[in-house]
């Protein structure tokens, strides 16, 4: 073989070696990588818990950023949230045939006015909205038109899945998602913060209780042809509002007229003369100050004349009454004589302690102050003792009554859910309005008012209900009108260890044949409170207890009354 041939063969052999070497390297890397992947798969299958993988996958989810934060009830039920709601807008300068575009838009969106649409399409302005809150179908059809001057702008709409339920608590937002009332407005800094999109606002409201309260108020409002109604359920040991209803109400999902009567939350905006419910404060301050004792008796044998005024009892006993009887049978004469012994300055001091001289405290805007007598003389002091001449909001009333029965502490109302156990922790947490001993006595007196007196229609077997009726004549053109009344009942349960207050009020109810044409607190409001307690007791986990003795019954000498 020639040397030239040997050289060629050697060159070929070297090239093959180089190629073989280059091929081995990537194949080796591929085999190595595949082996690592195989080992990892075996490791995951044999040694890792599936829950770890699920947890890691869940934690890697992308957070949703919304324009406004969700509002939930205390149990996590959605009360307000945002949904995608694109808007149709136009850039008029890009519309070449406004007549044709207007025709086609109105065919797709027949609720629009063609003339107004055409005016927008031919406007000299740079950008105009034609319709907000489009449905997905409408968005698809607008897109299909293909006009470059039409703009579909992504936006969100605030929606209230519960409709009218708790509308006065939640409030509402305008077309631009700007809050106008309720917790929407009070907590706007929280709710409008994109960084808190996944940090919902938990309210103290329980939608189950809210539904029951609204249903019972509406039923009674219709039955007695009342102008309006209001109701509150409160935890007396934490101040949490579990339900707050004002009727008539509104639906935040629809068109809103801010000046309409149904926009008024009567629980915080409307001061009312509460009538005999104020006797609770009169008796409490008399006992707490040491001005009277339970066994003290007062002359209610005839109407009481004070100057040019005469004070009557609607259901006169025409005899001397002790303190439990004055309260149980709701004697105006007796309350007036009790407060005369207490004194004007002591009366004013205690009412101020109860928070009845100030706006109620709660996370809402537009709160109303109580209406107090311009002059506080003897006759004014007496009429205030039975709830005339002074007007407070229902929330004022409920908060103050809670302090009477919860051991004497004035706890501000709240619409924010508290953590479990976040009730009263010591006597220094909140102002001590009356002593625990006085509070225990008042619980028994409120129990007597239901068992033996004017609140008997609020009685619920097993739930040891206590309470007080209230009936007041409305002031019309500066004069009390006997035909127009405000009737109310404030009840609490269980009275041996109070947890909840239920309050109901009706504006100008009318009696029926069933009530012998009477429209007082005992006939109208007390049955509503009783029915609400009957329905919410099991939901709140309050176990019925039978045969709980009510004290001071030996001091009651007369039969039942309805007022």
Give bridge partners of residue 212 from the DSSP assignment.
none
Instruction: Match 């869940």 to its residue by tokens.
Output: 58
Give the three-class secondary structure for 483.
strand
Secondary structure letter of residue 272 according to DSSP: B
| 276 flagged as catalytic | yes
Q: Residue 248: is the preceding peptide bond cis (ω within 30°)? A: yes
Q: Tell me, letter by letter, the H, E, C secondary structure of 141-161.
A: HHHHHCCCCEEEECCEEEECC
Name which of 79, 54, 59 is nearest 68 in CA terms. 79
Maximum Cα interatomic distance, the chain, rounded to a whole number of Å? 152
Token pair belonging to 39: 């080992």
- Percent of residues in the chain assigned helix, strand, coil, to nearest 5: 40, 20, 40
Q: Can you tell me the distance from the alpha carbon of 403 to that of 352, in angstroms, rounded to the nearest whole number?
A: 13
Q: Can you tell me the distance from the alpha carbon of 238 to that of 421, in angstroms, rounded to the nearest whole number?
A: 9
Give bridge partners of residue 168 from the DSSP assignment.
none
Instruction: Match 């299909």 to its residue by tokens.
Output: 144
Token pair belonging to 550: 């009510």
Q: Which residues contact 234 (CB under 8 A, 6 or more apart)?
A: 240, 241, 242, 398, 399, 402, 413, 500, 501, 503
Q: Which of 276, 368, 385, 439 does the annotation list as catalytic?
A: 276
Secondary structure letter of residue 179 according to DSSP: B
Token pair belonging to 81: 């949230």
Instruction: Match 């044999």 to its residue by tokens.
Output: 46
Token pair belonging to 233: 């359920």
**Contact (Cβ atoms closer than 8 angstroms) between residue 459 and residue 450:** yes
* Residues labelled as active-site residues: 276
């Amino acid at each position: 073989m020639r040397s030239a041939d040997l050289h060629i063969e050697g060159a070929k052999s070297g090239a093959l070696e180089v190629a073989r070497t280059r091929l081995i390297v990537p194949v080796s890397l591929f085999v190595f990588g595949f082996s690592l992947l195989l080992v990892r798969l075996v490791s995951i299958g044999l040694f890792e818990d599936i829950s770890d993988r699920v947890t890691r996958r869940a934690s890697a989810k992308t957070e949703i950023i919304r324009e406004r934060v969700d509002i939930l009830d205390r149990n996590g039920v959605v009360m307000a949230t945002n949904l995608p709601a694109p808007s149709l807008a136009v850039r008029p300068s890009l519309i070449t045939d406004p007549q044709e575009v207007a025709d086609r838009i109105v065919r797709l969106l027949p609720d629009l006015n063609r003339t107004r649409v055409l005016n927008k399409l031919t406007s000299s302005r740079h950008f105009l909205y034609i319709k907000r809150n489009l449905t997905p179908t409408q968005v698809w059809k607008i897109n299909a038109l293909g006009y470059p001057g039409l703009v579909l702008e992504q936006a969100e709409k605030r929606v209230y899945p519960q409709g009218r339920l708790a509308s006065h608590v939640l409030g509402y937002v305008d077309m631009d998602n700007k809050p106008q009332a309720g917790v929407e407005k009070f907590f706007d800094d929280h709710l409008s913060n994109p960084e808190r999109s996944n940090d919902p606002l938990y309210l103290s409201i329980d939608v189950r209780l809210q539904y029951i309260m609204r249903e019972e108020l509406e039923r009674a409002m219709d039955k007695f042809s009342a102008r309006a109604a209001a109701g509150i359920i409160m935890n007396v040991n934490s101040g949490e509002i579990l339900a707050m209803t004002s009727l008539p109400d509104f639906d935040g999902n629809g068109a809103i007229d801010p000046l309409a009567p149904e926009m008024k939350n009567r629980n915080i905006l409307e001061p009312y003369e509460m009538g005999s419910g104020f006797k609770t404060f009169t008796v409490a301050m008399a006992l707490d100050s040491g001005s009277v004792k339970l066994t003290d008796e007062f002359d209610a044998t005839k109407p009481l004349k004070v100057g040019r005024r005469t004070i009557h009892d609607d259901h006169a006993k025409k005899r001397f009454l002790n303190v439990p009887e004055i309260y149980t049978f709701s004697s105006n004469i007796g309350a007036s004589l009790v407060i005369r012994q207490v004194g004007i300055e002591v009366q004013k001091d205690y009412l101020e302690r109860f928070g009845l001289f100030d706006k109620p405290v709660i996370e809402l805007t537009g709160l109303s102050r109580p209406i107090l007598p311009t002059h506080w003389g003897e006759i004014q002091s007496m009429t205030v003792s039975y709830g005339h001449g002074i007007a407070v909001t229902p929330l004022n009333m409920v908060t103050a009554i809670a302090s009477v029965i919860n051991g004497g502490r004035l706890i501000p109302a709240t619409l924010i859910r508290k953590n479990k156990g976040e009730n009263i922790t010591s006597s220094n947490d909140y102002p001590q309005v009356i002593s625990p001993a006085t509070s225990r006595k008042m619980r028994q007196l409120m129990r007597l008012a239901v068992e033996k007196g004017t609140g008997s229609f609020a009685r619920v077997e097993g739930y040891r209900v206590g309470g007080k009726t209230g009936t007041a004549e409305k002031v019309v053109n500066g004069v009390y009108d006997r035909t127009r009344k405000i009737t109310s009942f404030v009840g609490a349960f269980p009275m041996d260890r109070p947890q909840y207050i239920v309050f109901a009020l009706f504006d100008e109810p009318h009696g029926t044949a069933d009530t012998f044409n009477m429209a007082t607190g005992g006939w109208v409001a007390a049955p509503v409170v009783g029915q609400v307690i009957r329905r919410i007791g099991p939901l709140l986990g309050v176990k019925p207890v039978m045969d709980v003795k009510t004290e001071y019954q030996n001091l009651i000498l007369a039969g039942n009354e309805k007022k």
